[in-house]
Amino acid sequence: MRTTSLFAALAVTKAALAKGPFLQQLNSTQWIFGNHLWNLTQGSTYATNLQYQGSDAVGKAYGHYIGYDGESNLQFTSASIVSNTSDYIDVAFSASLGDLHWVIYPELAGAYQYFVNKALPDLSILRTLWRLDPDRFTHGYNTNKNDKLPDFSLYANATKIQDETFLFPDGSYVTKYDFANYVRERDFVGVYGDKTGSWYIHPTYEYQPGNHLSQTLTVHRESKTGDAVQLNVVQDTSHFRVGNKTPQPVGKIWGPWLWYLNDGSLSDARRQAAHERKTFPYAFLKDTAYHSRGSIRGKLTLSDGRPAAGAAVFLGDTDTSTRPLVQGSGYYYTAFADASGAFSIPNVRSGSYGLIAASNGGAIGDVYTNFTSSPITITAGKTSHLNNLTWAVPTNRQKIFQIGAFDKKATGFTNSGQHVHGLTEKGPANLTFTVGKNTDADWYYASSKLGSWDVVFNASAPNSTARALLSVSLAGYSQSAGLTIYLNGNKTLGSISKDTLTSDPALYRSGTISGEWRFLQYDIPAEDLKQGSNVLSFTTDRYTLWRGVLWDSIILEWVL
């Protein structure tokens, strides 16, 4: 618990009576700031004593801080009001690596925040966060999950089995990844109770790295102290993917976003989030590059004539060879094409980008190629019209069977859904899937246990020169599980193991939808397929608890 000096306590009392936004220095390493609705005491690292609704909302918890890659937390050496208008003040807390800004309005419960880089190293994680009074903040919320945080008392008799993952006496698992979700699908994130709510609202996710499949943590219970943890991870090229550190340009801005306080009402937070999205980009940020924006429009058509309906469109780095999931030095935008293949992205920062499009299932769920185009130039005040873009897809193919749609996710398979730890153990060791009889729902999201998953299908070569092509799309892979692919019991087509793939942590961090996408193909001579019934076996021959293969799609085709 942090103590407050008599002088600081008097300053807090005085601040509670103040009307306008303010910053007051208490000593060389301590400041108090806020408005008449709330105020906060900032130390060199932690901000504590959050006065709101007449009491301290931090209590014995750690409070607010910012850091990168583990527990490398920033230390502030000075604070100043960098902008003072009749509407707001912009308070900057300065550290050697960058400046954290709080934009405070007179009648707003909360503040806008943004961070400006000065000297950050190459990194994978950057986050601000609150650790708040657990008795006051009892529940967590993100777009996909709204639930009570586990009671802290339960951790006393729990067994820690891995990174912030615990087995409770009743046999259930709890992990800090339970509330993880896809960043670009969020409306807002927060912790709340019957009296108070603390929320992070992002009007845009342009400063977040990665594409549609980028996911990270949001809220959880701190296992050592019981603090209610409200995370604001604004840079993540590590969790749920093959990790990568990226350089950060000097002057890069993460934010602004709104940290918002209320009485715990979800509906009020939702209304505020809608308001923030309407007012983006924010006028208070005095940065020319931030306000230099254009837009982009285009239409994607497959080379076989079909519209690229529902395609996932990613506007990222000009180097399109860099995996979209770990692009993280610039600003990034996503959209989905409509039924005609048309897409648009407004409010894009001026500059050069690379465009990547991929199937998101649905009408083009059989497409496993990606569309790329680079560079794409965005000019301030203008719309970049890409007109008709042709997406090359193979046309000399005849499908034998397909399990799952290509969307780089395990959607449609049994047990795929929210983050839940240990579900790999609920999948079968052995499974028989008969083409024409079974459906995608009969396949499980992951293979982990020792055993064989057999696909029974009929094949008949369309001509004497045809060969078959097996395409295996994985939504993720966690080592050290191993899997071998056999045809008709004796023909080895290939293997999936730590020797051929780099591990991502999605499966053992409670991921049931996606981690890092991998795509494998195997040629099969026509003579290796029998006329009539054949069996394609995916045999798990190396077992590691909670590790294995996370499935996306399997397709077998004749190449004509």
Backbone angles phi, psi at 405, to 5 degrees: -90, 150
Beta-carbon neighbour count of residue 87 at 10 Å? 11
pLDDT of residue 9: 54
Return all residues near 161 (Cβ < 8 A) that are at least 6 apart: 167, 173
Return all residues near 467 (Cβ < 8 A) that are at least 6 apart: 523, 524, 525, 526, 558, 559
Query: Could you give the CA distance from residue 410 to residue 436 in angstroms, rounded to a whole number?
Result: 20
Question: According to the 3-state scheme, what is the secondary structure of 470-483?
Answer: EEEEEEEEECCCEE
Quick: pLDDT tens for 115-150. 999 999 999 999 999 999 999 999 999 999 999 999
C-beta separation of 32 from 40 below 8 A: yes
pLDDT of residue 2: 47
User: What are the tokens at 471?
Assistant: 């395409």
Fold observed for domain 292-391: Immunoglobulin-like (2.60.40)
Element (H, E) at 129: strand 125-132
Judged by DSSP in three states, 423 sits in: helix
Query: Could you give the CA distance from residue 425 to residue 543 in angstroms, rounded to a whole number?
Result: 11
Q: What is the pLDDT along the chain (560 residues), one digit of tens a residue?
A: 444 454 555 555 555 555 799 999 999 999 999 999 999 999 999 999 999 999 999 999 999 999 999 889 999 999 999 999 999 999 999 999 999 999 999 999 999 999 999 999 999 999 999 999 999 999 999 999 999 999 999 999 999 999 899 999 999 999 999 999 999 999 999 999 999 999 999 999 999 999 999 999 999 999 999 999 999 999 999 999 999 999 999 999 999 999 999 999 999 999 999 999 999 999 999 999 999 999 999 999 999 999 999 999 999 999 999 999 999 999 999 999 999 999 999 999 999 999 999 999 999 999 999 999 999 999 999 999 998 999 999 999 999 999 999 999 999 999 999 899 999 999 999 999 999 999 999 999 999 999 999 999 999 988 888 999 999 999 999 999 999 999 999 999 999 999 999 999 999 999 999 999 999 999 999 999 999 999 999 999 999 999 999 999 999 999 99
- 169 preceded by a cis bond (ω within 30 of 0): no
* Architecture in CATH of 397-559: Sandwich (2.60)
Query: Could you give the CA distance from residue 79 to residue 47 in angstroms, rounded to a whole number?
Result: 13
Please give the full DSSP string across 275-328, using - where no structure is assigned.
HHHHHPSPTT---HHHH-EEEEEEEEEETTS-B-TT-EEEEE-S-TTS-GGG--
User: What are the tokens at 174?
Assistant: 């709890």
The model carries a pTM of 0.95
CATH number among 1.20.140.10, 3.40.50.150, 3.30.1180.10, 2.70.98.10, domain 64-88+107-290 = 2.70.98.10
pLDDT of residue 367: 98
Instruction: Provide the pairing of β-strand 451-459 with 467-478.
Output: unpaired
C-beta separation of 222 from 233 below 8 A: no
Query: Could you give the CA distance from residue 480 to residue 506 in angstroms, rounded to a whole number?
Result: 13
Quick: pLDDT tens for 183-238. 999 999 999 999 999 999 999 999 999 999 999 999 999 999 999 999 999 999 99
Quick: pLDDT tens for 512-539. 999 999 999 999 999 999 999 999 999 9
Where exactly are the structural domains of the chain?
Answer: 64-88+107-290, 292-391, 397-559
pLDDT of residue 1: 40
User: What are the tokens at 27?
Assistant: 């000593």
Query: Could you give the CA distance from residue 442 to residue 415 in angstroms, rounded to a whole number?
Result: 10
Spatial CA neighbour of 291 closest among 319, 256, 320 = 256
Judged by DSSP in three states, 261 sits in: strand
Largest distance between two CA atoms of the chain? 91
